[in-house]
Amino acid sequence: MPKTIEEKHHVRWLGQGSKTIVFSHGFASDQQTWKWVTPAFEDDYQLLLFDFVGSGQSDYSAYDFKQYSTLDGYAEDVITILDHYELNDVIFVGHSVSGMIGAIVAKERPDLIDQLFMIGASPRYINEPPHYTGGFEEHEIEQLLTMMQTNFVGWASYIAPVALPPSEGRAQSSQLEEKFKDNDPAITHNFLKITLLGDYRNVLADVTCDTIILQCSDDSFVPIEVGHYLRDHISNSRLHILSAKGHYPHMSHPNETAGAIKQYLTT
């Protein structure tokens, strides 16, 4: 029996208000990573949270490797969710890969997103000197993918403190490691592969909504040059540098992250 949208994506609603904020999680995590941030918005906004298929409490049986061979498959799911609830002009807050998924949605359906927040997002992770710095050489990404395939638990233990340094929050870093370990290895590998090897720079010129790029001051995965690149290639955008370090500021520094979002919110 086909699952409902609510069951497929474990959709949850919080808060109250006439304007909707959609919080979209990043790679190998789920909607629970927003729990430190959402209380700051519940009094004034309606909040929509969901899990991508293959993450969190979503319906794993709905995962299709062909559909999710590019980020477009995930963008299609976002469009389906927003259309299902007859939402438009939402505020879309996307962490990491979800920032680019939000950009794809904004390009394909400009009516759906009024304002886009991209937290630690990157359109391209591979360096292409001298014109583009993505942060990685292709062989480094291949090594990371191979490590994940051969020792998934070891990969999770290695990558979590890089993504969220214990110095930024030891408890949160440990929670992130456990969350990584709970993921399905094959699905997680596919998601990481299309994220790190993809090139979505051609999307940026067609993003016309108000866009806020939130960039950590020191991100092991997304160098500061990427934040500047996004600002320079999305016409209606602003770049805000957070003092937080790592790749998960909404977990390690939720007050700063929520404050930065509030600073730019259109009412």
Domain range annotation of the chain: 5-123+200-264
pLDDT of residue 266: 76
pLDDT of residue 73: 97
Nearest to 24, CA basis, from 87, 83, 100, 95: 95
Q: Global pTM?
A: 0.96
Per annotation, catalytic residue among 24, 55, 58, 96: 96
pLDDT of residue 87: 98
Per annotation, catalytic residue among 9, 95, 247, 250: 247
What residues form DSSP beta bridges with 223?
none
Per annotation, catalytic residue among 24, 25, 219, 253: 219
pLDDT of residue 37: 98
Measured CA to CA, the distance from residue 75 to residue 234 in angstroms comes to: 18
Question: Per-residue pLDDT for the chain (267 aa), expressed as one digit of tens each?
Answer: 558 999 999 999 999 999 999 999 999 999 999 999 999 999 999 999 999 999 999 999 999 999 999 999 999 999 999 999 999 999 999 999 999 999 999 999 999 999 999 999 999 999 999 999 999 999 999 999 999 999 999 999 999 999 999 999 999 999 999 999 999 999 999 999 999 999 999 999 999 999 999 999 999 999 999 999 999 999 999 999 999 999 999 999 999 999 999 999 975
Catalytic site residue 219? yes
CA dihedral 239, 114, 133, 31 (to 10 degrees): 100
pLDDT of residue 113: 98
Q: Does CATH number 3.40.50.1370 belong to domain 5-123+200-264?
A: no
Catalytic site residue 96? yes
